[in-house]
Structure 1
Amino acid sequence: MSPRHRSGSNSAATAIVVIADIMAVILGLWILMYLLDANRANDLVNFVQDAARWLAGWSYDLFTFDEAWARVVAGYGLAAVVYLLVGHAIAGRLRRY
């Protein structure tokens, strides 16, 4: 492989890792804000909640725990873990080639 090709795949891998990490941070931030009962009228809290709901659209109502905090932690936490695992796995694969 040419060094130029390898550098491109490393750049792509780095970008994928950064995006996956940002997605996980947004989800983790929303979990923290929810648990600390952040003011939902605040624009930042509202933005983080909307972004987290969009990112975890497939998982935020996946679990049916009786406690709302457990549903939030499990649903949004699952999405964060999946994004981290998948993003880092794809990046690792790119770096090998």
Structure 2
Amino acid sequence: MSRHHGSSSAGRAIAIVADVMALILGLWILMYLLDANRANDLVRFVHDTADVLAGWSRDLFTFDEAWARVVAGYGLAAVVYLFVGHAIANRLGHR
């Protein structure tokens, strides 16, 4: 029974990490769309963190509009982290 509990705890932790990563990416998309002040420390932190998280996807699309590139690139990363993170968590027994 303790093994199941350990798997469940690991799954829960993975799901939480995936949620936080997706939240940061979603927050950056919202801040970008609302033209948040990039000189603000919080905005800069969210942007820098989102850049790291979406490094593989942020320049994947070449839409003419910058907002569409941001939504697609960072949004794709958020969806992938949620999907993969929760798939792993479910596999480990997260309920």
| Length-normalised TM-score, structure 2 | 0.98
Q: Which runs of 4+ in 1 moved over 2 A?
A: none
CA distance in structure 1 between the partners assigned to 2:2 and 2:8 by the alignment: 10
Residue 28 of structure 2: aligned partner:
30
SS in 1 for 2:92: helix
- Aligned partner of 2:58: which letter? Y
Structure showing greater Rg: 1
Unaligned runs of 5+ in 1: none
The number of aligned residues is 94
Q: Give the CA deviation at 1:83.
A: 0.1
Unaligned runs of 5+ in 2: none
SS in 1 for 2:79: helix
Aligned-residue sequence identity (percent) comes to: 76
CA distance in structure 1 between the partners assigned to 2:56 and 2:74 by the alignment: 10
SS in 2 for 1:95: coil
CA RMSD of aligned residues (A): 0.8
CA distance in structure 1 between the partners assigned to 2:15 and 2:90 by the alignment: 9
